Chain A
Amino acid sequence: MPETPRRSLKARMAAPCALVGAVALVGLVVFSSGPASADTTTSTTIATTPVTGDTTTTGPTPTPYGVGSSSNGAADTTGSTLPGAQPGSVQQTPTAISALPSAGAAAAANAPANETGIIYTDLPNSFIAPGQALFAANCSSCHGAEANGKIGVAPNLQGLGAGTVDFWVSTGRMPLANTSAQAIRKPPRFSRIQTLEIAAFVQSLTPGQGTQVPIVKTSGADLENGNTLFTLNCAACHTISGAGDALAEGAYAPSLHLATPTQVVEAIRSGPGNMPRFGPGNITNTEARDIAAYVTGVLQHPNNAGGVGLGGIGPVGEGFVGLLIGVGILMLVCFWIGDRA
């Protein structure tokens, strides 16, 4: 054989390895879950703390539409959250687990809707004036100065309530960037306080009507109940992993990976867009709290004990990986072992 130098092993391996690596990288990047990271400790390190029953708030008995006396959301400081931190940050992860099987379901079967878990709050009156100013500057061009909408442009907001407005604005869906079949979540334009001011203004136009802003206390939630309810009511649109999917008429059910507990409850109660509206007679406040805790505590931190999550869309991603990477790598090994001619 001629002794001319041939290209080094590294040079010859570069192209095939780069190809395999590129495919693997593309597959892993495209199909890995978004912000949720694999949490391998969920299943083994959470301590079981017995629950002494649902904690109740002090003060007047809460009704579906908020506490009797107005508060600015700080009535219960033990582990409560102000009406929503910035979207994208995770609310408290529930740490206590119900030791009783589906206490929620059993109780609901025998008694009227349990009102604890969520407190609906009236926003302070001092929010209305700055809210009106913000509304006039940013929203009235489409929704009108009195928020009663313009036909073919924007819907009437009167009667929808502060919670509904808070949902649309805190998820960044409003103000609308461009008209399309459906508004998409984006970084919110306004700060939390500004969002609540706008919401307070819209609520003030029709006092007492519509969804209020909820204070959601996810500690003490029954994750198993939330799991059951989510699967029955939400998975058909949002998928069982909360990844979201396309609907008819150009609409789509969005991913739930950035939702806060407040936004989850606001969406449940106000039914934005094509989402059905689940009132307290359908999903009680405790059940809504459980769903919110499940979404933020479990769906956003999925237990991907098996490794890379591959997007949470099931066999589609798995098929790509199995065929391109699994069979692909083995075919490359065949190239190595066998003759090429």
Chain B
Amino acid sequence: MSDKSPRVDGAQPPATLDDPHLLPSAKNPKRMEALAALAMLIGMAGFAAFIVVYWINASNYWESATLGIGMLGLGVGVIAWGKYLMPQGPFVEERHDFHSTDDERTAFNAAITGRGGLEVKRRKLLLGIFAIGGGIMTLALIVPGVRSLGPKPAKSEDTEGPVENSLFTTNWKKGSKLATVSGRLVQVDDLEVGGVLTVFPQGFEGSSPDQVILIRLAQLGPNDPPYPIAPPGKTSWGVQGYVAYSKLCTHLGCPVGLYQERTQQLVCPCHQSIFDVNAGCIPQFGPAPRPLPQLPITVDPTGQMRANGSFDQAVGPGFWERP
């Protein structure tokens, strides 16, 4: 701490007690002292009560009340002491320039450039090697922090690796049975018109990238014409009035669990992206940029609902490598 002023005292006569700066600011200091003492006593009682309350395991309301009263009492008392009973001041201290003089700065500069410059002139080789070595050392020290992390995200062409390592694949394959999160297999008559269900491929219940929302839009039989969904070419991806879409919102990945049956819209609860199910889950409003990927589904002869293939694109939010 810089101390350039001579505070030690020959310079300053002792203050006398009648100096108004030393007087407390309270008009009735004795009364104020009594009040502060009362506050602190209440605080004391509060803390003592807290110990008792804690010991007997009373509710958290009691713990909070006693602790709060204790702290408040002490705090208010001490503040009152400081504000009303201590010397009221005001006092002043000088600010001193804390920056160095020009001479000191020049000397500092010279110390660096002088002795340093000498070495730079004499030992260029050592300096160069040290600089390069230091750079390589820095790289070497960073490597353990980064290289052990992983895994690397798989490329889009790599469909054989584990699904946990890829943003492009899911566990849905042609023939995957639809199952609920508790493992129950989904039959074709399970849902009423206007019904909605979260499904997974059997064996992968609860897996985040595989979550699919199954909606029944109409009660159609196996021989009825398929329910018309707007995207051309994807009408056959539904079956008997059922359609299935990835439940991962294409905005930020929240599960799109909110289905409005009357307006046939899926609304993402996080940021209110609205998807029109009839038009192939195209986003009508909100920040989602792409429709929810559709999963082709079919019914096998036993009535078991199955996937008829996997998604034709990566599910979930966008990322750099997504074409």
Given contacts A109-B183, A236-B255, A305-B60, contact A277 B260 (CB under 8 A): no
Which range contains the number of B residues in contact with the other chain? 35 or more
- Quick check: A108 and B255 within 8 Å, CB to CB? no
- How far is it, in angstroms, between the C-alpha of A307 and the C-alpha of B183 when the chains are bound? 39
- How far is it, in angstroms, between the C-alpha of A251 and the C-alpha of B269 when the chains are bound? 14
- How far is it, in angstroms, between the C-alpha of A210 and the C-alpha of B207 when the chains are bound? 35
> Would you give the shortest CB distance from B6 to chain A, in whole angstroms?
30
A305 / chain B contacts, CB cutoff of 8 Å:
60
- Quick check: B263 and A281 within 8 Å, CB to CB? no
Given contacts A276-B259, A279-B192, contact A249 B182 (CB under 8 A): no
From residue 271 to 307 of chain B, which have CB atoms closer than 8 A to chain A? 272, 274, 285
Cβ-closest chain B residue relative to A236: B257
Given contacts A108-B184, A232-B198, contact A279 B191 (CB under 8 A): yes
Kindly identify which residue among B59, B192, B260 contacts A251, using a CB–CB cutoff of 8 Å: B260
Asked if B137 CB lies within 8 Å of chain A CBs, one says no
- Quick check: A232 and B181 within 8 Å, CB to CB? yes
> Would you give the shortest CB distance from A151 to chain B, in whole angstroms?
16
> Would you give the shortest CB distance from B246 to chain A, in whole angstroms?
15
- Quick check: A249 and B260 within 8 Å, CB to CB? yes
Given contacts A105-B182, A248-B265, A251-B263, contact A278 B192 (CB under 8 A): yes
Contact with A along B192-212 (1 / 0, CB 8 A): 111111100000000000000
- How far is it, in angstroms, between the C-alpha of A65 and the C-alpha of B256 when the chains are bound? 32
- Quick check: B195 and A307 within 8 Å, CB to CB? no
> Would you give the shortest CB distance from B105 to chain A, in whole angstroms?
38
Asked if B267 CB lies within 8 Å of chain A CBs, one says yes
- How far is it, in angstroms, between the C-alpha of A336 and the C-alpha of B72 when the chains are bound? 14
> Would you give the shortest CB distance from B205 to chain A, in whole angstroms?
10
- How far is it, in angstroms, between the C-alpha of A235 and the C-alpha of B27 when the chains are bound? 61
B191 / chain A contacts, CB cutoff of 8 Å:
279, 281-282
Given contacts A109-B184, A248-B285, contact A273 B192 (CB under 8 A): no
- Quick check: B263 and A248 within 8 Å, CB to CB? yes
- How far is it, in angstroms, between the C-alpha of A248 and the C-alpha of B271 when the chains are bound? 12
Binding site for A on B (CB under 8 A): 27, 59-61, 79, 83, 181-184, 187, 189-198, 215, 255, 257-263, 265, 267, 269, 272, 274, 285
